[in-house]
């Protein structure tokens, strides 16, 4: 049995949240694409959705004090230990929102190194769809994540029916999910972060460094 872990990070503030809706659609499409690619082996796709809205206060405390609560630790570890990552941010002022950036700032250095990642966003206008390319993609490049070529942006008109509505969004979701599944299927399974892997030497602890 092959287990593939997907972490899904969504930074929407609304209740209900269009970013969460897009995140769920992307996760379902990626899970289906992964199962298609592993026809000969049994595969279990584990999906962990991280609603950053629920960690907002903890994130501010973490960046101010360095103290990470158990719930936030679980979310950070889910991302670090995932085989693939899906991120969805609402676009605020033509960029990712502050909550999204706070979470990425709270990740340990190297947590996204080589991580297959699908970047997505929701916005109030289709005119800001390129924020994914000029803001989110460079940020992911800095963090050494491997972002798939197709980024998915959903504006209000994309959720509606019609010639340029839902079918076009469905196609983009399927294409991006297929690209992420290809990358995840090619990669060895990610190891869960081990908090005891790099212990501080005892002599150093005694010295109080
Ligand atoms: C403070 C603020 C700034 C925003 N700025 C933009 C913007 O620059 N471009 C845009 O397309 N949408 C903008 N929006 C709209 C949100 O991106 C949009 O409503 C998003 O889908 C909300 O996601 P959610 O439902 O997951 O919270 C802004 C919304 C807020 C609250």
Q: How far is the CA of 92 from the centre of ligand 1 (A)?
A: 5
91 lines ligand 1 (CB under 6 A): yes
Q: How far is the CA of 190 from the centre of ligand 1 (A)?
A: 33
Superfamily of domain 2-207: Flavodoxin domain (3.40.50.360)
Mutation to probe ligand 1, out of 15, 92, 121, 159 (largest number of atoms < 8 A from CB)? 92
* DSSP structure string for 73-114: HHHHHHHHT-SEEEEEEEEETTEE-HHHHHHHHHSPTTTTTT
- Exposed/middle/buried for residue 143 (C-beta within 10 Å: 0-12, 13-18, 19+): middle
Give tens-digit pLDDT for 140-193: 999 999 999 999 999 999 998 656 667 899 999 999 999 999 999 998 877 666
Q: Which of 123-127, 154-158, 175-179, 201-205 has the lowest mean pLDDT?
A: 201-205
178 lines ligand 1 (CB under 6 A): no
Six token digits for residue 200: 């501080």
| Residue 1 pLDDT class (50, 70, 90 cuts) | confident
Q: In the prediction, which pLDDT does 194 show?
A: 65
Q: In the prediction, which pLDDT does 34 show?
A: 95
Average pLDDT over residues 24-28: 98
Q: How far is the CA of 33 from the centre of ligand 1 (A)?
A: 29
93 lines ligand 1 (CB under 6 A): yes
pTM listed for this prediction: 0.91
Q: How far is the CA of 29 from the centre of ligand 1 (A)?
A: 24
């Amino acid at each position: 049995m092959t287990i593939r872990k997907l972490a899904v990070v969504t930074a929407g503030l609304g209740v209900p949240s269009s970013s969460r809706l897009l995140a769920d659609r992307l996760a379902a499409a990626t899970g289906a694409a992964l199962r298609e690619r592993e026809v000969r082996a049994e595969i279990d796709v584990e999906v962990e959705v991280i609603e950053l809205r629920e960690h907002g206060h903890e994130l501010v405390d973490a960046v101010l004090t360095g103290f990470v609560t158990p719930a936030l630790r679980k979310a950070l570890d889910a991302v670090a230990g995932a085989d693939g990552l899906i991120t969805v941010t609402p676009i605020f002022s033509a960029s990712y929102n502050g909550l999204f950036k706070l979470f990425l700032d709270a990740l340990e250095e190297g947590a996204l190194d080589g991580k297959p990642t699908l970047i997505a966003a929701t916005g109030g206008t289709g005119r800001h769809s390129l924020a994914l390319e000029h803001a989110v993609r460079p940020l992911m490049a800095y963090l050494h994540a491997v972002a798939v070529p197709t980024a998915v942006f959903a504006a209000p008109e994309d959720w509606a029916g019609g010639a340029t509505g839902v079918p076009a969004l469905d196609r983009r979701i399927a294409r991006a999910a297929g690209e992420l599944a290809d990358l995840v299927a090619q990669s060895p399974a990610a190891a869960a972060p081990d908090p005891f892997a790099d212990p501080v030497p005892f002599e150093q602890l005694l010295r109080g460094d």
